[in-house]
Structure 1
Amino acid sequence: MTDQVKLSQYSAILLENARHYGVTDEDVLTAIRTGDLAALSQAEREHYTYEAFLSYAKEHGEELERAVQEGYRITFNTNNGLKNWIAITFDLKPGIDFNAAEGLVDGLILTGEQAEKLRKSLASNWHIADEIDTADGHKELTLRLRGM
């Protein structure tokens, strides 16, 4: 068994942003293997550019290819970073679909599969403080910053 891939919050958000805007995992893998970022250009937005995506990952020893194929754990989540990662990854709107405050995310309703992805990806400085099964088979989650 191999260790779980660790990704910075920066790389995780860029990866999920690409997926959110329709870039397939195969296209992401091709970009990683060839260095040709053209396929990622459709996901570029004001704060999400891919110019440094591969060089940042290489410089920080991130295994992007394995992260795409096997999943990953974020090394550290900031409040805003976690809020943005949740919004992009699960196509949710902060303040509407979930609440995010200092050291707290609540009212987050996910499918079982989404909850599992969150559980596997969430940085260790956060934890799932509460999980309630909803009547329609979803999970309502409360996340807290450790130590708060």
Structure 2
Amino acid sequence: MTLNRISLMDAYLIETVRSNGISNDELIQKTLNKDQNAWKEILPKLNFERLVEIAEDEELFKSIIEDGYKIKFVTMNGLKNLLKLKFQIDESKYHQIENGLLDLDINEDQLAGIKQFLSDNWQIHEIERNQSTVKVNITVG
């Protein structure tokens, strides 16, 4: 299956909503019904109109939310922010260098999720693997 490509800002919006405890089903239903008033209380600075725009193509929107997405272009800060939003991985969990992140210990689900959303300008190199974690380097180029 080919994943839909979205912008980094669209990914931030989706993952910010999810990171505040909103399920995929609620995200889909409230967006399709243009009823995000409850979210405005917990996320007052977000503009939910972009979600409504994406949801104009209902099948596309459902696929992005349920099946996942690939980001068109991820920056270094974008990668760091998505790791934090999507997986609660902060800067204490890796070493940042000029062109990437080193020694990131993650589980298989996190690895699959990162591989899924990461744009083509990034590469993931497995360094070490044990029963519960995989140590990876994520670099540009």
TM-score using structure 2 length: 0.84
Summarize the alignment of residues 1-148 of structure 1 with structure 2, pairs less than 5 Å apart: 2-41=1-40, 44=43, 49-54=46-51, 57=54, 63-94=60-91, 96-128=92-124, 130-146=125-141
Q: Which runs of 5+ in 2 are unaligned?
A: none
The number of residues matched between the two structures is 139
CA RMSD, 1 decimal: 2.4
Conservation of the 8 A alpha-carbon contact between 1:109 and 1:141 = yes
Structure 1 stretches of 4+ moved >6 Å: none
TM-score (norm 1): 0.81
AA aligned opposite 1:131: E
Q: Among the aligned pairs, what percent are the same residue?
A: 22
2:29, 2:38 → 1: CA distance?
A: 9
Q: Name the structure where helix makes up a greater proportion of residues.
A: 2
Shift of 1:58: 6.4
What is the CA–CA distance in structure 1 between the aligned matches of 2:21 and 2:112, rounded to whole Å? Answer: 22
